[in-house]
Amino acid sequence: MSETYIGGFHAVIAALEEGGERLREILLADTRRDARAQRLLALAAQRGVTVRQVARDTLDIYAPGLRHQGVLAAIEAAALAGEALLDVPATDERLLLALDGVQDPHNLGACLRTAEAVGVSAVIVPKDRAAGLTPAARKAAAGAAERVPLVAVTNLARRLAKLKTLGYWITGLTGEGSESIYALDFTGPQVIVLGGEGGGLRRLTAEHCDRLARIPMLGRIESLNVSVAAAVCLYEAYRQRQPR
C-alpha cells in the first residue's frame, strides 16, 4: 500500500485518536518539548506507534513545503472511496457535498473539515482537474480526511443525474442563484454542489441541479472563498436537520 505524510499536531493526533492502525511512524522535531508534544508522545505510546525525534530540517526534507509544526506522520495513504459508495438509495440522514473542480488542496482540506463537523456522508470530486488528498489537503483537513469518504467520479454531471434517480435533491451554489439558501428546505437526502475557484459551477453541472441558490451578501465582494461558502451552506443544512 502506498504511503504519504500528514503534518501538524491536529492531523497527527486525530490519526492517533482514531486508533493509529494506519500510522507507520511519527517524526517529531527534537526541539518540540511543549505540552502538545508531550500529549502526542503519550498517545503514541498508548497506541504502540514509534516516534522518532529528528532535526527540524529533516522534516522539511520529507515533506517540502508543508507547514508541519514540527511533526509528521508516515501513514498508509487512504484509498479514495469507490463510486459504489454512492450507489445506494437515499435516506433522510444522507447529506453529500460535491465540489466541481476545486483545485486548491487547502480549500479541499477545509471543505473536508467542515463536512466532517456536520456529518456529511461523503464528499464527491471529479477525477480530473481537481485537488486530491495531498499532504497539504490532509493537514488543512485536520484529521477529517481520515473520517469522511472522498469519492472521485469520472463524470460529475452524470453522477448527479444518477443521484437524482436514487432520491436525492440537488442544490447548486452560484452567485446567480434564484433563491437564498435561507429560503430553501435542506431536510431529507441532499447533495450540495459548489464550483471551483474562479470559474464556479460548470454549465453542465448546473444543468443537473434541481435548484440554484445563492448566499446573500450585502458587501461589494462578488463571492466567498469556496471553503467558506461550503461552511455557510453546510451549517444551514445542519441547522435545519436537527431535531426540533
Distance between CA atoms of residues 81 and 174, nearest Å? 27
CA distances from 234 to 5, 90, 181, 231 (A): 29, 18, 10, 5
Instruction: Give me the domains of the chain, ranges plus CATH numbers.
Output: 3-76 (3.30.1330.30), 83-241 (3.40.1280.10)
* Poorest-pLDDT segment among 7-21, 49-63, 106-120: 7-21
pLDDT, tens only, 22-75: 788 999 999 998 999 999 999 999 999 999 999 989 988 887 877 888 999 887
Give 143's contacts (C-beta < 8 A, 6+ positions apart). 10, 11, 13, 14, 15, 17, 18, 116
pLDDT at 1 over 70: no
pLDDT, tens only, 23-37: 889 999 999 989 999
| Amino acid identity, position 207 | E
pLDDT at 114 over 60: yes
Beta strands 169-173 and 211-214 are parallel
How deeply is 194 buried, as exposed, middle or buried, from its count of CB atoms within 10 A (0-12, 13-18, 19+)? Answer: buried
Residue, of 69 and 190, whose pLDDT is higher? 190
